[in-house]
Amino acid sequence: MKTKFILFSIVIAGVNYLIFLLAGYFGHPFYGMLISGMASLLLAILLYRWIIRPIEDLKTQLEEADEENTKSEKIRSEFVANVSHELKTPLTSIQGFLETLQEGAAENPEIRNKFLDIMAIETARLKRLIEDLLILSDIENRRNVSMEQQIVIHQSLQEIISSIMPIAQARGIDVILTVDTSLKIQGSEDRFKQMMLNLIENAIKYSRDGGKVRVSGELIPETDKVLIQVRDQGIGISSEHIDRLFERFYRVDKSRSSKAGGTGLGLSIVKHIANLFEAELKVESQMNEGSVFSVLFPSQKRN
Ligand SMILES: Nc1ncnc2c1ncn2[C@@H]1O[C@H](COP(=O)(O)OP(=O)(O)OP(=O)(O)O)[C@@H](O)[C@H]1O
Ligand SMILES: [Mg+2]
């Protein structure tokens, strides 16, 4: 900035001096001074508008782009660190049990079976983590997706609920579905099911035994938007966690979620799919009373 200012002043002073000399040479020192003063002013304005300001604007743009780059690089490296950590934890556990078995624990059938069970659980966790990461990457890159299907909401939700009924039943949780059978939206049925499965799975997972999970769908008449809600009467989420809930790997209670086989990627998958559908997501929750996850799909009239 300083050198630019010095250069700027030298150019103006130079031009000023030249005009002054020329005017003096032709015998009009007063007019010479006047003209050279005005010319310097004009030159200063032009130099500023055409050269200095565009350079300053370009510099600001470059700085902004640089900041943006640093930010996305930071997010990327945090993501890689998180993925590595999440992969390493079950792997370390499997390795530990394997070594103990190799060192002789395998001879005791009771210990052997117990260790093998834990290893099976950890392996399933690893598999789920990798599947979730692949789904996220597919959604982010909009791979394997046709948004042209007509999704019959009742049928789709019924299929999802049937698939997780054994888990709900084992804990005495009732899942109640209320959706008009004619309600439809347009999009990818696979993605829709992935999103709803994650929400209903969470509602069950974070419910108390014997609780109720309500899944409802309705057409909002004034706007033609479709609202789907998943309600539970479970543990609830305190307000300070709500904003971060949809971040990858974010878990309110890490140990509880891990015990339940959670990867912390479920809600981030939900958020990405909601973006794909151009839908709005909302969470309302009361500690110890339960949570409501709402997805508001855009007007279906355009179809
Ligand atoms: N219905 C809910 N009630 C209470 N807490 C919830 C509910 N849904 C999500 N959460 C909280 O939000 C966190 C993030 O949810 P998310 O679905 O992303 O991960 P997860 O359930 O732990 O793992 P995953 O879904 O990958 O198996 C959960 O760990 C849990 O703490
Ligand atoms: Mg989940």
List, for residues 31-90, the tens digit of each pLDDT value: 777 777 787 788 888 888 888 889 999 999 999 999 999 998 988 888 899 899 999 989
Position 1 scores a pLDDT of 59
Cβ–Cβ under 8 Å, residues 90 and 123: yes
Residue written as tokens 């059978």?
181
Position 5 scores a pLDDT of 65
Cβ–Cβ under 8 Å, residues 212 and 291: no
The Cα–Cα gap between 287 and 121 comes to: 30
> Could you tell me which residues come within 8 angstroms of residue 43 by beta carbon, excluding any fewer than 6 positions away?
11, 12, 15
pLDDT band at 201 (very low <50, low <70, confident <90, very high): very high
> Would the CB of 232 count as within 6 Å of ligand 1?
yes
- Nearest-CA residue for ligand 1 atom 29 is 251
Position 256 scores a pLDDT of 66
> Would the CB of 231 count as within 6 Å of ligand 1?
no
Position 14 scores a pLDDT of 77
CB atoms within 10 A of CB 67: 10
pLDDT, one tens digit per residue, over 207-248 is 999 999 999 999 999 899 999 999 999 999 999 999 999 999
Question: Vertex 221, ends 188 and 293: CA angle to 5°?
Answer: 55
Q: How far is the CA of 197 from the centre of ligand 2 (A)?
A: 9
Residue 163: CA count within 13 A, CB half-sphere: 13
> Would the CB of 203 count as within 6 Å of ligand 1?
yes
pLDDT, one tens digit per residue, over 141-191 is 877 788 889 999 999 999 999 999 999 999 999 999 999 999 999 999 999
Position 46 scores a pLDDT of 87
**264 Cα nearest atom in ligand 1:** 19
pLDDT, one tens digit per residue, over 5-46 is 667 777 777 777 777 777 777 777 677 777 777 877 888 888
- Nearest-CA residue for ligand 1 atom 21 is 262
- Nearest-CA residue for ligand 1 atom 8 is 202
> How far is C-alpha 1 from the geometric centre of its chain's CA atoms?
40
In the three-class reduction of DSSP (H, G, I as helix; E, B as strand; rest coil), residue 251 is classed as coil
In the three-class reduction of DSSP (H, G, I as helix; E, B as strand; rest coil), residue 293 is classed as strand
Say if residue 303's pLDDT is above 60. no
The Cα–Cα gap between 273 and 178 comes to: 22
Q: How far is the CA of 94 from the centre of ligand 1 (A)?
A: 24
Q: How far is the CA of 290 from the centre of ligand 1 (A)?
A: 13
Instruction: State whether CATH 3.60.150.10 applies to domain 149-297.
Output: no
Fold of 1-144: Helix Hairpins (1.10.287)
Beta strands in the chain (DSSP E): 149-152, 174-179, 184-187, 212-220, 225-232, 280-286, 290-297
Position 25 scores a pLDDT of 73
Q: How far is the CA of 39 from the centre of ligand 2 (A)?
A: 71
User: What are the structural domain ranges in the chain?
Assistant: 1-144, 149-297
pLDDT, one tens digit per residue, over 240-296 is 999 999 999 988 887 766 666 678 999 999 999 999 999 999 999 999 999 999 999
Q: How far is CA 299 from CA 146, 165, 191, 224, in A?
A: 19, 31, 18, 5
The Cα–Cα gap between 200 and 270 comes to: 11
- Nearest-CA residue for ligand 1 atom 13 is 251
Mean pLDDT of 80-106: 93
156 is written with which tokens? 């789709």
Residue written as tokens 């307000």?
239
**Does 149-297 match 1-144 at the fold level?**
no
